[in-house]
């Protein structure tokens, strides 16, 4: 059940008023009445004690001043009902074995009152006894005071309590109205305004707030709404700017992607350009074979024709067999050239992104040869020792061959470039060596490509995989080769790292998952 603020205020006020009324109407008068009675009892008892003491002194000392003063004091009290002197006598039974105390009223003031020695207190009278004992007489003073004054006092307290309760009740009602007006109304106004602000109406302001904490809350609310509205406006503007920026960024991203693709393509074409010489050299050999055997076959076919015309069929058959052998060779070398061209095309084409089961050893070897031949085609003086240690147990692994091939080409080109550069600047017996090693290691294939070039300075080690970072002279490198290689390895969920020592060489370690 939901109880609103106004109801809570009224509940609280009613509770307080009822509690107060209970106290003023019942508890307080009751306690006050008890207090009055107690005080009255004590007072009467003290008076009785005083009179008894006076009597005792009067009897023993024959000094009647004390009792006279006490008696006169008691007599002057309008509440006095009676004051009696009770005499105790010992009454023995006939056998003189048992006795009982017989109480008789010796004297009473006023004389028209005739209280019994056994008189006790009741609602209308308070009776107190104070014993005294002398050689001459034993007894007590019995003092009776009426409770009229107490009753009247209690009545007055009761009436005062009713009046106070009534006043408190009306004050409570008044306070309830004031609180409801000063707390509930502004709070409800704040709530409504907050709801409307929540719905998006930022023009809301609470007015006519009291000059207290709620008023301060109202001011704070108004300021908050104002700030919120301002902030919202700024946010809108910022949002628009952000949208515009995002749009520009998207546009830039698209452009960047295009540029990246173009760069990748450029890099590819650049590496292709570097390969061209090697490829041309590779194709030249089979083409030479094809051309030579084709020319030989042309001559042989002319000889065979002459032998057939001269009826020398046996010779013609021998020549025909030679032609067939040559055709086989032409076909073999033609296919070889075809394969080289296809590989070249495969390299130049966009990656399909499709994984294929590929023999990593064959791929590494093929690109090693292409890279080496490419460099040799450009620099006839270049020569290097190539060392390969391929782990035959690897078998096929699931990779995108065009991408991994491109990665191999980039690293090989760098390796050959480095050893060639070192060859140019090193006098004496320097033997450029590039080695490739593959090894199966659990679920991974580890490929190590090592050169004994100049090595990478330590300060560049953490930058070599950054895009556009290159130490090659302008025009010789795009700075994208290793960056793309890094991306390719990462796309294959592999790892690539480099270990290098200046003047000793570098080693790239690539780990690719088999599956």
Partner 1 sequence: MKKQTHKYKIPVLLSGKVFLMVVCMLFLSMASKSQQSTLVAIGNSSDAPNDLALSELKSILMGEKQRWKDGDRILIALMKTNTPIGKTTSSKIYDMTGDEVNKFWLALVFQGKAQAPKFFSSTEELKDFVSQNRGAIGILDKPVSDPEIKFITIDGKQSF
Q: Which residues bind partner 1 (CB under 8 A)?
A: 55, 58-59, 62-65, 67-68, 71-72, 75, 83, 85, 106-109, 111, 136-137
Closest distance between partner 1 and the C-beta of residue 108, in Å? 8
Closest distance between partner 1 and the C-beta of residue 74, in Å? 10
* Number of residues that this document lists for the chain: 515
Closer Cβ to partner 1, 54 or 494, answer by number: 54
Closer Cβ to partner 1, 102 or 107, answer by number: 107
Closest distance between partner 1 and the C-beta of residue 69, in Å? 10
Closest distance between partner 1 and the C-beta of residue 18, in Å? 54
**For residues 467 and 480, is the Cβ–Cβ distance under 8 A?**
yes
Give the contacts of 278 (CB within 8 A, at least 6 positions apart).
Answer: 369, 370, 371, 372, 373, 374, 375, 376, 377
Closest distance between partner 1 and the C-beta of residue 16, in Å? 56
Closest distance between partner 1 and the C-beta of residue 120, in Å? 22
Closer Cβ to partner 1, 66 or 215, answer by number: 66
Q: Name the maximum alpha-carbon separation found in the chain.
A: 200
Closer Cβ to partner 1, 93 or 111, answer by number: 111
Respond yes or no on whether the N-terminal peptide bond of residue 311 is cis (omega within 30° of 0). Answer: no
DSSP 511: E
Residue carrying the six token digits 């091939």: 405
Closest distance between partner 1 and the C-beta of residue 110, in Å? 8
Q: How far is CA 138 from the centre of its chain?
A: 93
CA–CA dist 461, 500 (Å, integer)? 8
Give the β-pairing of 138-146 and 125-133.
Answer: antiparallel
Angle at 239 between CA 238 and CA 243, to 5 degrees: 120
Residue carrying the six token digits 């949002």: 239
Residue 472: which region, alpha, beta or left (left: phi > 0; alpha: psi -120 to 50)? beta
DSSP 493: T
Closest distance between partner 1 and the C-beta of residue 22, in Å? 49
Paired strand residues for 505: 501
Give the β-pairing of 433-441 and 385-389.
Answer: parallel
Closest distance between partner 1 and the C-beta of residue 58, in Å? 6
Closest distance between partner 1 and the C-beta of residue 122, in Å? 25
CA–CA dist 399, 355 (Å, integer)? 5
Closer Cβ to partner 1, 62 or 122, answer by number: 62
**What phi and psi values does residue 112 have, to the nearest 5 degrees?**
-75, -10
CA–CA dist 174, 419 (Å, integer)? 102
Paired strand residues for 441: 444
Judged by DSSP in three states, 496 sits in strand
- Integer angstrom CA distances of residue 434 from 152, 292, 460: 126, 34, 21
Closest distance between partner 1 and the C-beta of residue 152, in Å? 27
Positive or negative CA dihedral for 12, 14, 16, 19? Answer: negative
Q: Write out the DSSP string of 381-430.
A: T---EEEEE--TT--EEEE-HHHHHHHHHHHHHHHHHHHHHHHHH--SS-
């Amino acid at each position: 059940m939901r109880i609103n603020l106004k109801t809570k205020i009224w509940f609280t006020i009613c509770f307080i008023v009822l509690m107060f009324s209970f106290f003023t109407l019942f508890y307080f008068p009751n306690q006050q009445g008890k207090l009055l009675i107690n005080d009255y009892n004590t007072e009467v008892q003290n008076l009785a004690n005083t009179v008894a003491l006076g009597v005792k002194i009067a009897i023993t000392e024959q000094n009647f001043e004390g009792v006279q003063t006490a008696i006169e004091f008691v007599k002057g009290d309008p509440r006095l009902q009676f004051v009696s002197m009770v005499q105790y006598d010992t009454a023995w039974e006939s056998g003189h074995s048992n006795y009982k105390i017989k109480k008789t009223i010796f004297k009473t003031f006023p004389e028209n009152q005739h209280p019994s020695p056994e008189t006790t207190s009741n609602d209308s009278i308070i009776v107190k006894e104070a014993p005294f004992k002398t050689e001459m007489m034993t007894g007590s003073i019995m003092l009776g005071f009426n409770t009229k004054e107490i009753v009247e006092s209690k009545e007055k307290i009761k009436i005062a309590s009713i009046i106070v309760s009534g006043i408190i009740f009306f004050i409570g009602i008044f306070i309830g109205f004031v609180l409801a007006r000063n707390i509930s109304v502004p709070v409800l106004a704040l709530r409504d305004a907050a709801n409307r602000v929540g719905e998006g109406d930022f023009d809301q302001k609470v007015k006519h707030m009291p000059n207290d904490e709620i008023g301060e809350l109202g001011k704070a609310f108004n300021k908050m709404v104002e700030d919120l509205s301002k902030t919202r406006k700024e946010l809108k503007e910022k949002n628009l700017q952000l949208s515009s920026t995002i749009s520009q960024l998207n546009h830039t991203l698209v452009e960047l992607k295009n540029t990246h693709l173009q760069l990748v393509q450029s890099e590819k074409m650049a590496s292709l350009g570097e390969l061209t010489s090697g490829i041309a050299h590779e194709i030249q050999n089979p083409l030479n074979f094809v051309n030579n055997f084709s020319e030989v076959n042309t001559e042989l076919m002319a000889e065979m024709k002459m032998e057939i015309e001269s009826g020398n069929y046996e010779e013609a058959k021998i020549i025909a067999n030679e032609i067939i052998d040559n055709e086989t060779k032409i076909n073999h070398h033609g296919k070889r050239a075809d394969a080289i061209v296809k590989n070249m095309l495969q390299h130049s084409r966009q990656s399909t992104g499709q994984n294929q089961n590929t023999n990593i050893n064959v791929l590494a070897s093929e690109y090693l040869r292409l890279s080496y031949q490419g460099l040799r085609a450009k620099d006839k003086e270049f020569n290097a020792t190539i060392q390969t240690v391929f782990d035959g147990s690897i078998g096929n692994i699931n990779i995108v061959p065009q991408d991994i091939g491109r990665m191999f080409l980039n690293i090989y080109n760098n390796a050959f470039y480095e050893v060639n550069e070192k060859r140019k600047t090193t006098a004496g017996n320097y033997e450029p060596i590039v080695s490739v090693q593959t090894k199966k290691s659990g679920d991974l294939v580890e490929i190590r490509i090592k050169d004994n070039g100049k090595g990478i300075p330590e300060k560049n080690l953490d930058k070599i995989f950054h895009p556009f970072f290159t130490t090659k002279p302008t025009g010789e490198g795009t700075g994208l080769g290793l960056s793309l290689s890094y991306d390719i390895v990462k796309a294959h969920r592999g790892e690539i790292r480099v270990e290098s020592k200046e003047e000793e060489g570098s080693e790239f370690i690539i780990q690719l998952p088999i599956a």
